[in-house]
Amino acid sequence: MERVQKILARAGLASRREAERWILEGRVRVNGVVVRELGLKADPARDKIQVDHKPVRVAPERRYYLFHKPVGLITSLGDPRGRPHLGEYLERVGIRERVFPVGRLDFNSSGLLLLTDDGELSARLTHPRYR
């Protein structure tokens, strides 16, 4: 059992914060009942979870990609200043899953990045608590 917002994030539909907003807006259902409580837990293998009346399918396995970031690319999924960014590249090569970079590289740097949907691994690799 895990929190509904975590299930939605793991399904690649939204970040946890966005999923929390959906819950508070009444857009999420578990077994046909509207969920408005952030702490509610569900079992994605047993419970029927929907967002806007559409079924949520949770991928059982995590995604991991190695990406060689070229110079001149922002290591984020979007850029309000219109610079080339990772989100555009992922879309162009057909990666539809919601993955994010573990760490980052500067605009004028190149190097290898890990992209994943595994938030737990990302935290263990980057958070000072795990050093």
70 close to 89: Cβ distance less than 8 angstroms: no
The partner residues of 3 in beta bridges, in order of sequence, read: 41
Longest Cα–Cα distance of the chain, Å, equals 50
Catalytic-residue membership of 43: no
Catalytic residue among 52, 106, 117, 118: 106
Residue 86: CB atoms within 10 A of its CB come to: 23
Q: HSE-up of 101 (CA within 13 Å, CB side)?
A: 21
Whole-angstrom Cα Rg for the chain: 17
Which of the residues are catalytic?
106
